[in-house]
A = this chain, B = another copy of it.
């Protein structure tokens, strides 16, 4: 199993803008993390110029930030348009994606047009996929306004929409030109979305950095109180770990799959309940508890470590018990997971703490895990 190199060990910065570089050859880009970045024209310096730009956002985030982003971009593009999509995972679908294409075509947007994704993971995934496909590829910039998007979905180039038969089944690997994480936008985040983001932050401890898990245990109260210095460090460290993993394996042929820790059980919960009923981060939080238990039952970590992960997730207020879908339904849903091969489910497991790997698990053990946590 892989472990993250020592030179990436935590180096907290207490103020200013942090930059995390994603090294992917000619698809490299920077993640900027700081306060007030969204409004600052300098944030966008060096990005591709185009006469037309399109901000894609949703009906919740748009009214809060779209006009501010338009103003900040006024010197960079002649015309900055806005498309507002309906808000919610249930709209991460073809009709909403097609709305972006229709708006672009109605404005005669060409293949140099830059798209800006302003919102959470759904907006980011859809805008990225629209950018990947519009005229076979136009540049795009991520401006994530949720913690979840800042630490996870806006980093690494995975874009997608859902299919009624499976989450994120239709998509592309497509890298943004830049990611702009403005800590100030987290002020307006509903509490349950903050927690959903913390689930993904917590994830990086067990899979890659035991020391970071300790830092999270020590700083969870500050994070829950939205202390900006704590958030900056948590986001920066999460992005560093994700950047390292994605740099090793951009197309998810191996190592990158460890980022899906908690996601196999989590996707089954989301799909089983109908997309939108559980927040993605809530399902992942619960999925991590189940995957930790699975790792313990497979003898890869001890019971105490599994309980430690569960306890940290519980402290945030995230659910640690899945819906009672029945083991058969969980297993059926997990078999269409993208990590499955020939119908065999492959789980991300922990062991030792701070390292992760992938493996199948005996059916009986999986059923025990489901029984214990639903």
Contacts and interface: CB of A to CB of B under 8 A. Distances in A.
Contacts of A342: 51, 110
Contact of A172 (B137, B335, B340, B341): B137
A335 B132 CA distance: 22
B136 A172 contact: yes
B101 A163 contact: yes
B108 A336 contact: yes
A135 interface: yes
A331 to B, nearest CB: 12
Interface in A68-122: 94, 98, 101-102, 105-106, 108, 110-112
Given A105-B163, A163-B105, A165-B102, A136 B171 contact: yes
A367 interface: no
Stoichiometry (number of copies): 2
B173 A137 contact: yes
B110 A340 contact: yes
A251 B105 contact: no
A215 interface: no
Residue in A51, A136, A342, A343 whose Cβ sees the most chain B Cβ within 10 Å = A136
B102 A94 contact: no
B133 A101 contact: no
The winner among A105, A170, A252 for most chain B CB atoms within 10 A is: A170
A158 interface: yes
18 contacts: A94-B94, A94-B98, A101-B170, A102-B165, A105-B165, A105-B336, A108-B336, A108-B343, A110-B340, A111-B341, A133-B172, A134-B170, A135-B169, A135-B338, A136-B172, A136-B252, A137-B173, A137-B251
